[in-house]
Amino acid sequence: MIKKPKIKPNQTWATEGVRADVTLSKGHRSANHLDLFYDLLIVVAMASTGKSFRAKIHDLEEFRIGPLMSLFAFFMPLWFHSFGLNHLVNRFGDANQLYTMLFYFVSFLCLGVVVMNIERCASDDWLGGGQFQCFDFGIAYASSRFVLAVAWGICAYGTTTGKWFCTACSVRHAIAALLWLVTVLIQKYVTAFLIMWWMTIIVEFFSFVWTPPTPDYIPLDVHLFDERMGLITLIAIGETVAATLTAPLSEESQWSVYGSSFFIMATSFQMLLLYFQVGARIIKEGKHALRSSVIRGLGWSLLHIPLVYSILLVGNAGEILIVGHSPPQFIRAIYGYGVGSVFILSAVMQSLHDGGGSTKKRLSKRVRLLARWCAGAIIISLGLFVTEESGITSPIFTLLVSIVSTVEVMGIDIYGSARVGVKVEGELGEFVSPDAH
Residue at a domain's end among 169, 204, 219: 219
12 within domain boundaries: no
Q: What is the CATH number of the domain that holds 386?
A: 1.20.1410
Within 8 A by CB and 6+ apart from 351, the residues are 369
In this structure, is residue 6 part of a structural domain?
no
Residues 203 and 64 placed together within one structural domain of the fold: yes
Q: Which of 202, 212, 137 is nearest to 176 (CA)?
A: 202
**Which residue range forms the structural domain that includes residue 54?**
29-219
Kindly report the number of other CB atoms within 10 A of residue 429's CB atom: 8
* Residue 316 included in any domain: yes
Residues 314, 422 share a domain: yes
Residue pair 434/276 in contact by the 8 Å Cβ criterion: no
What is the Cα gyration radius of the chain? Answer: 23
**Residue 304 and residue 393 in one domain:** yes
Residue-level pLDDT at 16 = 45
Give the single-character DSSP code of 420.
Answer: T
pLDDT tens digits for range 373-398: 999 999 999 999 988 888 888 889 99
Could you report the per-residue pLDDT of 28-59, keeping only the tens digit for each? 667 788 888 888 888 888 888 888 888 888 77
Residues whose CB falls within 8 Å of the CB of residue 207, separated by 6 or more in sequence, listed in order? 172, 175, 176
The amino acid occupying position 56 is K
Please, is 376 exposed, middle or buried when counting C-beta atoms within 10 Å of its C-beta (0-12, 13-18, 19+)?
buried
Q: Is residue 409 part of a domain?
A: yes
Number of domains in the chain: 2
Tell me if 177 is assigned to some domain: yes
Q: 181 with 126, same domain?
A: yes
pLDDT score for 413: 83
- Write down which residue in 204, 219, 234 finishes a domain: 219
| Same-domain pairing of 247 and 211 | no
Q: Indicate whether 373 and 298 sit together in one domain.
A: yes
Q: Do 206 and 288 fall within a single domain?
A: no
Asked if residues 159 and 97 have their Cβ atoms less than 8 Å apart, the reply is no
Does 167 share its domain with 292?
no
Among 186, 219, 252, which residue terminates a domain?
219
d(CA 65, CA 74): 15
- Rounded Cα gap, residues 70 and 206, in angstroms: 20
Structural domain includes residue 7: no
Q: Do residue 204 and residue 276 come from a single domain?
A: no
**Within a domain: 8:** no
The answer to the question of residue 9 being in a domain is: no
188 burial level (CB within 10 Å; 0-12, 13-18, 19+): exposed
Regarding whether 35 and 161 lie in a shared domain, the answer is yes
CB atoms within 10 A of CB 232: 20
Render pLDDT for 236-291 as a digit per residue (tens, 0 to 9).
Answer: 999 888 888 877 766 555 667 788 888 999 999 999 998 887 764 455 544 778 77
Q: Residues 434, 292: one domain?
A: yes
The answer on 175 and 40 residing in a single domain is yes
Task: Write down the pLDDT at residue 426.
Answer: 42
Per DSSP, 220 falls in state P
Q: Which of 272-286, 291-305, 320-334, 387-401 has the lowest mean pLDDT?
A: 272-286
Helices (H), 281-352: 289-292, 294-302, 304-323, 329-351
Cα–Cα distance for residue pair 123/73, rounded to 1 Å: 12
pLDDT tens-digit profile of 126-185? Answer: 544 556 688 889 999 999 999 999 988 888 887 777 788 888 889 999 999 999 999 989
